[in-house]
Amino acid sequence: MPKKTLLKKFLIWRIKHISNKQFIYIVSILLGFTSGVGAVIIKNTTHFIQLLLEKKLIKDYLTAFYFIFPIIGLTLTYLCIRYVIRQKVSHGIPSTLYAISQRKGFMKAHQMFGSLLTAPLTVGFGGSVGLEGPTVATGAAISSNISRMLHLNQATRTLLIGCAAAGAMSSIFKAPIAAIIFAIEVFSLDLTLASLMPLLLASLSAIITSYFFFGNDVLLPFRIEDEFGIQHVPLYIILGVATGLVSIYFTKTYSFFQSFFEKISSPIKRLMIGGLGIGVLVYFIPPLYGEGFDVINNLVQGNPEIALENNIFHLDLTSAWVVIALLAGLIFFKIIASCFTFGAGGVGGIFAPTLFMGSITGFCSAKILNTLNFFTSNISESNFTLVGMTGVMAGVLHAPLTAIFLIAELTGGYELFIPLMIASVISFSITKYFIPHSVYAMELGKKGDLITHNKDHAVLTLMDIKTVIERDFVPVYLDMTLGDIVHKAVVKSNRNLFPVVNKATKELEGIILLDDLRPVMFDQTLYKKIKASDLMQTPPAYIMLEENKMTDVMKKFQDTSAWNLPVISNGKYYGFVSKSKLLTAYRRKLIDFSTK
């Protein structure tokens, strides 16, 4: 009780002394800091586990441990979720999108620490996934629970979740502008001055936190040396097409394995199948172990032989075609390894696998062109590696601007801005044509629950259909006579519409309008001759409570021009939705959605 009293006193003081805008700015700075700290904890814990396994406990790193470690990590993750957290730990960014679209921005408290415990166990022991998604989910959950504690409205909660996401990405990559764009693109935030300032403050706070803990270290230390020329445009167009095809493969494979593992009800079976799958893959292909940023850095620096030196086949890496074949194998198997990790119950993200596959796609494309002497001068394999990451990221995540600015910021300049734009636009366009939603938003998109930059669609998605259903209509039964209808329904109702219901099954048989009754209701000689079944008509459309979304409901009103439509729940009559109430609720939600 004292804590609640103290919080209440603070909220009263805040209302009196700090404007809402200033308060959001302060909270966004705090969330940037907490997201940065979350990134530091997840990243350092993961690297500590990796260091402990590779250097401290096992000095001679045997190949067999590539098979054992991922299984151990996934088992520990399962035990942690089952006996410590005791709640499902959802995948990072998809769970955040679900909270925004379906839970009004509320996230459960355990999500604040769930990924902190499980992601390092998954990735530290070699799970082939990334840390970015869990970091974003941790920051978003902290933001959601702080917003709930401070009694902030839904629009502000959504904005602050975006601030936490921007903070997490800014801290991880030290790319504050790309982090802001990421929050806007992925979480469909409105780009206004009111939303931009909190995002900027959160991103700035997070990157300062990152510099405090990590210094000047960056994930991809690189400086562009080979300049871009107009003659290179056709080559980057080819790369854009290649990354688009890889993006489609990535998304289709991810979707297939997700459906496959969802059909397995037993978590133990999923752990066994996924654990053995990732163990076998990592044993035969060691570069798939963990996030894979070492491989990316070796490719960016032009040293593929270092990335491939652990290949179990001991092939001659002086042959360009051998290198190309091995790297192509990494492209093919990386997403499969990631899917096995997820399927086994591992906690991680797909951001790192996206960068991994993109870097190899770019490097392979340049290597092939150089080996075939396709171009008169030597093509920069390092530049293609960077641009390849942009292409696959733009295609898989459906976030072309994030992809462009992230690589531009990571490389410390904008010399490759035109190639980044070319590959990003082409890859995104190709992938979007075949796959309408990103990996993050795939499930929500299929169900029509996804928040998008289309404000009308976003507002309808945020509305709850049950809040607009009216249930005070007086029902009429099939065998009721006109006299019964007048005395038992018309007299007692202030409505001009009556549902005709089957008394036994509660199913809706039709509707009777007051206009249908007026010509006969005053002729008492007809009171026993006419029944409800003679007067009723079929409704212009039905609203299925369990199936229809608010977007469907609005479309039905537009198509039928009706003022009231009946609602059916599990095959039985439930109530009505009126156009006037629907539009009133829509207007209120629009005002709330637009108020930042």
Mean pLDDT of 140-146: 90
pTM of the model: 0.77
The rounded distance, in Å, linking the Cα atoms of 144 and 158 is 8
Which pLDDT score is estimated for 455? 57
Contact 122, 69 (CB under 8 A): no
What CA dihedral angle connects 249, 394, 91 and 196, to 10 degrees?
A: -170
**Nearest CA-CA partner of 188 in 347, 399, 382:** 399
Higher-confidence position of 528 and 56: 528
The rounded distance, in Å, linking the Cα atoms of 69 and 76 is 11
Lowest mean pLDDT among 57-61, 142-146, 571-575: 57-61
- The DSSP letter of residue 463 is S
Three-state secondary-structure class, residue 109: coil
Q: For domain 230-453, give the CATH superfamily.
A: Clc chloride channel (1.10.3080.10)
Which pLDDT score is estimated for 443? 57
| Backbone dihedral angles phi then psi of residue 575, each to the nearest 5 degrees | 165, -160
Domain 17-214 has CATH 1.10.3720.10: no
Three-state secondary-structure class, residue 536: coil
pLDDT (tens digit, 9 = 90+) per residue, 392-444? Answer: 999 999 889 999 999 888 876 577 889 999 999 999 999 999 988 888 776 55
Give the start-to-end residue ranges of the domains of the chain: 17-214, 230-453, 458-594
Using DSSP bridges, classify how beta strands 497-501 and 564-569 pair: parallel, antiparallel or unpaired: unpaired
The rounded distance, in Å, linking the Cα atoms of 417 and 230 is 12
Q: Evaluate whether 17-214 and 458-594 have a shared fold.
A: no
In this model, does residue 529 exceed pLDDT 90?
no
pLDDT (tens digit, 9 = 90+) per residue, 23-33? Answer: 889 999 999 99
Three-state secondary-structure class, residue 499: strand
Which pLDDT score is estimated for 106? 82
Q: What is the fold, at CATH topology level, of the domain defined by 458-594? A: CBS-domain (3.10.580)
Three-state secondary-structure class, residue 426: helix
